[in-house]
Each structure stands twice: as structure tokens, then as C-alpha cells.
Amino acid sequence: MARLIHKTVGDLLDETVERFGERDAVVYPELGIRWSWSEFQKQCNRAAKGLMRLGLGKGHHLAIWATNLPEWVITQFATGKMGAVLITVNTQYRTRELEYLLRQSDTETLILMEGFRGNSYLDMIYEICPELKESMPGQLRSARLPRLKNVIFIGDERKPGMFLWKDILALGDEVSDEELRRRQASLHPDDVINMQYTSGTTGFPKGVMLTHNNIVNNARNVAECMKLTHEDRLCIPVPFFHCFGCVMGTLACAGTGATMVPLIAFDPLKVLQAVEQERCTALHGVPTMFIAELNHPDFRKFDLSSLRTGIMAGSNCPIEVMRRVVDEMGAKEITIAYGQTESSPVITQTRTDDPIELRVSTVGRVLPNVEAKIVDPATGREVPPGVQGELCTRGYHVMKGYYKMPEATAEAIDDEGWLHTGDLAVMDENGYFRITGRLKDMIIRGGENIYPREIEEFLYTHPKILDVQIVGVPDEKYGEQVAAFIRVKEGEQLTPEEVRAFCEGKIARYKIPRHVFFVDEYPMTASGKIQKFRLREMAARELGLEKKEESV
């Protein structure tokens, strides 16, 4: 079994630079950027020193709200060197979610881009922090976000109250290399270095605290399952704000010397172009991404013969899609991974030499130095192979905990260190796992985790809504879609369009109910508990999904 390594993110990068300094580290086909590992290291060191000069100490909280821009990956490794905790912000967040995250996480510094897909991040931060427009950079005094002091804009045009990214780099020139070396040497592999927000049983996102040890070792094991080396070139169209992008992607490359070929945002045509142009040997994606690539009208025009491996994860992979990725894309060693943010993120993964039947019917076996078991949810006792139960896991990869949520942490991780995933699974005699359902009501739409209570609590603020229940309903494209069952207040009238309009700009687009049903009452148990599975059945009937489900 591979030994665990005890290194910080910064030390990992420096070691890779020593071994592969002149090889390609980061290539952005869209931007014409091509950095060697030595050049990338210089960028990261300069940004790290700039953040130190700004006053960020070890353990201070820095959030980044941007797509897969070069500044994102530089910030990831810069914080890994100078010790600030990197808080990743979902690019689809809106004002309510952003304010909650920045407040709950005690973020002191925010780095952001102008906007994404028609949504202005600048407008949103000015709405939450109107004081920013009248502030000098670095001197924000916000009523709603008292901890936030610095806002850094990724762009060239000056914005009221904000530093520019180039200002931070210039500040870095005022700090000596020796000061950075001392700071980096003071970091410990067990320090928290990354915080990602994930929905959970509270209904609001929880900050998952991940250490250097958590993510460095997970990235290394994931890379090993793909047989990734410095000869490989990994196309990364999945978002950096997820562990999929910044652990299984960028960090897996940093641990092996493989070249990162990121896309700023997912676009199936750009993925195909990048793979051909850069002769990528590996490709990451959720099933919907691979489907979009395979079904692109120009798919057959591209030479994808360089592809060998990669990861498909995020939701269940249809066998036909997997076969097409192997046969038509040529990624004969593509792997399937399963996990969650709380486990850094991968628990199980298929291997490159597993037969395709195992790669589509299971989520593989545990990574090295990872334990997993299936327990009876009612008794907590381990069940034998072939019996369904809750998947629990233990090892180096289990998070340090949820930020400022000791009760939620204790609920997730038991006294013996086992993380309870909330997922139902079956393990076979050879140690391969199959995910069969969820104990939680979590909806997974196109790889995005959605917790119903968060949407319910938001919709409760609508003046016409008396009660609301959110469930997931099957969807061919995204796996699941959000459905809302709403009881309207007496004397009021409401339409599905009004409900969706109320959500626009307040919650992420993927959380907005795709289906809205109006009901007078909910199906209840004798003890008065709402039966959400009955609501799912009702939605399936209304949407004509019953026969489709039965025929599968």
C-alpha cells in the first residue's frame, strides 16, 4: 500500500518544480498562456508575497469567486504557500448565498471577477456592501460583513473600493523571498488550507475544512488510479470551486508534474478543440459534459486519439455514455470516482485496468489508506457483502470538520472517526461499491448538490406562499431536477412563472424549481410527517415519468 505523504501544498509544488521545472505546467488554449512549472511557481510566489504584504496571516480566510481563470489556480497555490485558507465560491451563487458564505466563513479578503453568464458579481458585492463604493482599497467597513476588509478585482479597470490583481502582484515585490520561505516553513500538513461549502442537514451550506494532508494525499491517490505522470496532459473543464477541479484536477497535476489544460468555463466545442490542440491524454467531467461533447455536431471532426484516461464523476454514469467515451473518444482507461467534499473528495475509484462492466456498474474500490464499510442505518452495525446500508468511511481523507458547526461535525463523524456519508450503497465480495440511493433528501442535478430545505426556507419568504416542499424528480439530461410543491395562502393566486421570477438573482439558477405544483395538502404519515417520496411519485405521474422509470 502506498505510504501517506506529509507535505503542504506549497512544498508539493516546489518539489515538482525541482523535478520538472521546464516542462509545461499550465496551458490555457483560450488565452494563449503557456507556463512552465518554473514560470508558474514564480507567479504563485509573487501572489503569495502580495497577500502577505496585504496583511494576510496563516489561517486568515480568503474567498475567490471566479471561473477557472489563471488567477484562480495561482491563488490556490499562493495560499498553499503563505497559509491563508482558500474559500471557494460557487460561480452560480447570487446575493443571498454569497452574503451567507462570506459572513459564516469570516472571510477577510475576497477576490472576484466581473461576472459570469450575464450575472454581475460587481453589482452583487456592491449590493451587499454598499460601503465599498466609498471605501479606500483595504479599508472596507461593512455593516453586513464586518470581517471583510479587502476586495480584489480580477481585471484591468479600477473599481471603487477594490484592489486590482496587478496591485497584489506589485505588493509582492516588497516582500523578500526569505520572508515567504519562513512563512511556508511555518505551515503544518495538518493545518486547514481549503474550505468548500456544501449543503447538509441544516439546510444551509456548511464550510468543510480540509487540510494539506487531506487534499495532497487524495490528489496523489486519484492520480495513481489514473496512472497519471509528468507525460500526461489533463484537460480540466470542471469548475475549480469544486474538489473535482481543484483536487482531482490541478492538485493531481501538481503532484505528478502532469500539465494542466484548464477551460475558463465548460463549453463542449472548446473541450474538443483543447484535447486535439494540446494532445491531452486525460479528461475530467460529469456525465452531462461527456454527453454534450459526444453529441456535438462537430464531434467527428476532431482527432482525440491522444486520450487515454480521466475521471467521470458527479452523478451516476449511464453505461451507453461510458462505452461511447471508451469507443468513440478513445479514453480506454477512463475511471469512475465517488466521494463527497467531506472526504477530500474521493473515497472509491475504479482503476484503469478494471473491466468496463465494473466501471459502469460500480464506483470502484477504496483508495489506498482509506477504509469504508456498509452499516445498517438503524443499528449502526456492519452488514455483509451484498446487503444495502449506509456507506461510512475513515482515514486521512476525512475532513477536519465543519467550520463553526461542532454539532453538525459530531453528527457527520462518529466517535471512532467514521464519516457517515448519508449515501446508501452495496459492496460486493471483491470490495467494489455500488451507490443505490441516499438517506438524505439531497438532490443531485448535473453534479451539483442541492439541499431542499435551503430552497424551502427561501421560498417561505414569498408573501403568497403558505407552505412549500422541495423534492428531486428524475431528468434524462441532469439526472434530477428540482420540483416545488406549494400551498398558497388563502385568497392568493400564484403561477409557476411568478415563483421562478422570485428566485431569479436571489438563489443559484440550478436551484430554481424547474417544476412547480400547487397543492391543497401534503401526503402525511400518521404521526404528521410529510411523505416526500409520495410527492416524488405525484410529480412522476404529472410529468409522465412513471412508464419511463418502469421500463429502465
Q: Which residues are within 8 A (CB) of 65 and not within 5 positions of it... i.e. 6 or more apart?
A: 89, 91, 93, 98, 110, 111, 112, 113, 121
Q: Give the mean pLDDT of 184-191.
A: 98
Residues in the chain: 552
Q: pLDDT tens digit string along 329-346?
A: 999 999 999 999 999 999
At 11 the pLDDT is: 98
| Residue 269: pLDDT over 60 | yes
pLDDT digits (tens, 9 = 90+) for 431-487: 999 987 667 677 889 988 787 878 987 998 899 998 899 999 999 889 999 999 999
Question: Which residues pair with residue 366 across a beta bridge?
Answer: 348
d(CA 339, CA 536): 25
pLDDT > 80? residue 530: no
Distance CA 9, CA 339 (A): 21
Q: What is the per-residue burial (b if ≥16 Cβ within 10 Å, else e) of 437-466?
A: ebebbbbbbbbbbbbbbbbbebbeebeebe
Q: Which CATH architecture has domain 443-551?
A: 2-Layer Sandwich (3.30)
Alpha-carbon dihedral angle through residues 315, 210, 421, 535, given to the nearest 10 degrees: -60
Q: Which residue has the higher pLDDT, 524 or 416?
A: 416
102 pLDDT more than 50: yes
Residue identified by cell 453529441 is: 295
The CATH architecture annotation of domain 351-438 reads Roll (2.30)
What is the mean predicted confidence (pLDDT) over 381-405? 97
pLDDT at 97: 92
pLDDT band at 527 (very low <50, low <70, confident <90, very high): very low
pLDDT in tens, 506-517: 999 999 999 999
Is residue 281 predicted with pLDDT exceeding 50? yes
Sequence-ordered list of residues with C-beta below 8 angstroms from that of 258, at least 6 positions apart, any chain: 223, 228, 229, 230, 231, 232, 233, 234, 252, 282
* Interacting residues of 231 by C-beta distance below 8 A, sequence separation 6+: 258, 281
How does pLDDT run across 71-89, given as a tens digit for each residue?
999 999 999 999 999 999 9
Of all residues in the chain, the percent with pLDDT exceeding 90 is 81
**CB distance 91 to 136 below 8 Å:** no
Q: Where are the beta strands (DSSP E) in 215-318?
A: 233-236, 259-262, 282-285, 309-312
Domain boundaries, the chain: 9-327, 351-438, 443-551
Q: Is the pLDDT of residue 120 over 80?
A: yes
9-327 to CATH, choices 3.10.580.10, 3.40.50.12780, 3.30.70.100, 3.30.950.10: 3.40.50.12780
- Checking if the pLDDT of 316 tops 70, the result is no
Residue 360 has pLDDT above 60, yes or no: yes
pLDDT at 251 over 70: yes
More confident residue, 547 or 473: 473
To the nearest whole number, what is the mean pLDDT of the chain?
93
Give me the mean pLDDT over the 218-223 stretch.
98
